[in-house]
A and B are shown apart, each in its own frame.
Chain A
């Protein structure tokens, strides 16, 4: 019974410890960022490197935000990323499950998967442009392919690594295949799937900019391409920051979802 009285105390002190830790590391994070900006400022200010100084980038940021261009570009890129990414993940999950659950599906799909995994999605861009034109379709397709390939492997791994004993436990409790799939395999492979989804999102971002560099009339990648022509470095900086911050924000959101859904996992 001692476990009952001891447990809440250790749990709460553990949480408090973690909070102090969080504050400490957050402080260090902020210090790191401030130091980075300071180094950037001092290097560019002294003219050692030919890059724009922080205030120039900041004023360009305000200007682009004011005339709505930054928001338009961001919206265009974001729409592509989200469409391609969602389509990719939505297809990857059933395909990954089918591969993990049915040997036939695995044998049929695996060669294609392994082959296409070896081709960087960006290498598909020329083919996509020739066959699908320069509208939205080829860009979304490439992003779709990138996020699909990244998350399908993770899902498949998740399904095949579900503990056999757990499946047996469900079977002796009377569960049939469909119930085992829905109530055991799906929840047990959720952590793997979520890792795949995060990797997929990373590849989606990596791909969108490249796709926009090659053929686009809008988007953050297109904006950088234009700025390059005019030697407009502050605009390139603003676009890069926008991409980085958006990617980071989305990844953090997924991380929060992941933590929420896998709270039951034993962490070492």
Chain B
């Protein structure tokens, strides 16, 4: 089977006042259809840069990203994105936020409403469909953002530290809910985080990146069954994988070891 997303030697350089800064150096990765991949690494490892290039919000300086074999040339609704800062439109109700992408697509009102309803219910915000974002908690805002991304029926979900701003308890709840949603509405997910536990708990594979310059360090398979449960989270197998990822993130070799 051909992979869904292919990063082929993707490089990104940022021009600064004094010279340039290599944010991402020849990053290559294949993500299979329906796979859940998490990306962890220290700050400056280029994980957000890679994700933004896949989203089409940033151009690669070298190499390319292809989705279903087609090179990414700009943002598009087949690649949904979820941001750490939620990025909801505060003047729109939950329902109108979720309908935003459908309206852009030109879906008729009845159909918009029907789709929005379905995803609002899926993320458990049914009672808050007409609420404004300011009345929602952080976790609820992010659930609304997830529903909004799902509503346009993307083939991929790109998530940029989506739970980074939430407290530990809400974060665990949203992880479970995201997996639940993902199991019912299977999409290819690329999920960025700086939380090693989160990375292991969610993923089929954990991609560990290194900084200075940002690059791929190691890919670690998470050989644990879905649905993931608290039992799995507390199991010795989980701990073993977590330790491997932790080691890969916090005891990185210097840059030259990478070819």
Interface size on B, residues (CB 8 A): 31
Residue A169 is within 8 A (CB to CB) of chain B in the complex: yes
A191 nearest CB neighbor, chain B only: B91
Contact with A along B73-115 (1 / 0, CB 8 A): 0011101110101011111100000001100110000000000
Interface size on A, residues (CB 8 A): 24
Residue A4 is within 8 A (CB to CB) of chain B in the complex: yes
CA distance A7 to B127 in the complex (A): 12
- Inter-chain contact B104/A173, CB cutoff 8 Å: yes
Residue B152 is within 8 A (CB to CB) of chain A in the complex: yes
- Inter-chain contact B104/A169, CB cutoff 8 Å: no
- Inter-chain contact A4/B81, CB cutoff 8 Å: no
- Inter-chain contact B89/A173, CB cutoff 8 Å: no
Shortest beta-carbon distance, A192 to chain B, in Å? 13
CA distance A175 to B152 in the complex (A): 12
- Inter-chain contact A175/B104, CB cutoff 8 Å: yes
A163 nearest CB neighbor, chain B only: B87
- Inter-chain contact A4/B90, CB cutoff 8 Å: no
- Inter-chain contact B100/A266, CB cutoff 8 Å: no
Contacts of A23 in B (CB 8 A): none
- Inter-chain contact A165/B75, CB cutoff 8 Å: no
Using known A-B contacts A165-B85, A168-B83, A264-B133, determine if residue A173 contacts B57 with beta carbons closer than 8 Å.
no
- Inter-chain contact B76/A174, CB cutoff 8 Å: yes
CA distance A253 to B91 in the complex (A): 21
Contact of B134 among A7, A165, A175, A265 (CB under 8 A): A265
CA distance A189 to B149 in the complex (A): 24
- Inter-chain contact A172/B81, CB cutoff 8 Å: yes
- Inter-chain contact A171/B57, CB cutoff 8 Å: yes
- In the complex, which residues 113-142 of chain B have their Cβ closer than 8 Å to any Cβ of chain A? 127, 132-135, 137
Contacts of A263 in B (CB 8 A): 132
Additional A-B contact list (20), CB under 8 Å, known A174-B76, A183-B100 = A165-B83, A166-B89, A168-B55, A168-B57, A168-B81, A169-B87, A170-B100, A171-B57, A171-B75, A172-B77, A172-B149, A173-B77, A173-B80, A173-B100, A174-B75, A179-B104, A187-B91, A263-B132, A264-B132, A266-B134
Interface residues of B, Cβ cutoff 8 Å to A? 55-57, 75-77, 79-81, 83, 85, 87-92, 100-101, 104-105, 127, 132-135, 137, 145, 148-149, 152
What are some 6 contacts across the A-B interface (CB < 8 A)?
A3-B137, A166-B87, A170-B104, A173-B148, A188-B89, A264-B91
